[in-house]
Amino acid sequence: MKRTVLLTTAMATALAGTGVTAAAHAGTTTAAAAPAIFWVKAQPSTVVLTGRGERKVTITVLVADATRVRAQVNRLGHTGGPVSVLRPAGRPGLWTGTGSLNWVDDPGAYDVRVTAMDADSDDSEAHARFQLRRGTYFAGFKAAPGVARKGKAISLSGQLKGLNSVGRWAPYKKGHVVIYFRKAGTRKWVRYAVVGTDRNGKFLKKFKARATGDWGAQFTGNGTWYKSASANRHVRVR
């Protein structure tokens, strides 16, 4: 007998306020014999691929009356993903395990389908989700000259790279890089410009030297690529 449960934090809080447990609430509409899944967590919430090695997502489940727990990780809207067997984690009712992803997996939203079974093979289902992104990084970021005369030009340049579908770092072309400046003696970063990358992932932007401070570049990320930031570069204006 199968039971599917979608428990949320709000539901658990509401039930706690009435003195009714999630298991008791579920039992009013489904077979009481099936295990009661209280919650499922997938951590981290965003898995970032950074090379050809595997990345792990930790799956944790709190369930009552289960003798076996397994989890299947699928890209959202797909089926047939690998199945992981979860193990008891010490605390009563707590089970944990891992799922593996690598560079061949497509970025996007992923679903973790957890199935908990009891000794009679009655089972319940619950789900959690996480995001998969490909990593990016700045392969060099320069602000030149390091000492500039006020009113003269400062050149900011660098290269943005991203992990491609074969697990290699490649130039991120047609990307958008945000340039920031923090004036010396302050904590606030000011957004100065957005500059595009060329087919080699490179970018160049010039500004007039107005004040001493630090320059930085940032890629904000999207549905495929994870965000990244450059090292800061200091320019003294005299």
CATH numbers and ranges of domains, the chain: 2-134 (2.60.40.1930), 136-237 (2.60.40.730)
What band does 32 get if pLDDT is binned at 50, 70 and 90? low
Beta strands (DSSP E) in the chain are 2-4, 36-43, 46-49, 55-64, 68-75, 83-85, 87-88, 94-101, 108-117, 123-134, 136-144, 147-148, 153-163, 169-171, 176-183, 190-196, 202-208, 213-219, 228-229, 233-237
pLDDT in tens, 151-182: 999 999 999 999 999 999 999 999 999 999 99
pLDDT in tens, 119-140: 988 999 999 999 999 999 999 8
Question: Could you tell me the pTM of the whole model?
Answer: 0.80
pLDDT of residue 7: 40
pLDDT in tens, 50-108: 998 999 999 999 999 999 999 999 999 999 999 999 999 989 999 999 999 999 999 99
**CA 113/CA 70 separation, integer angstroms:** 8
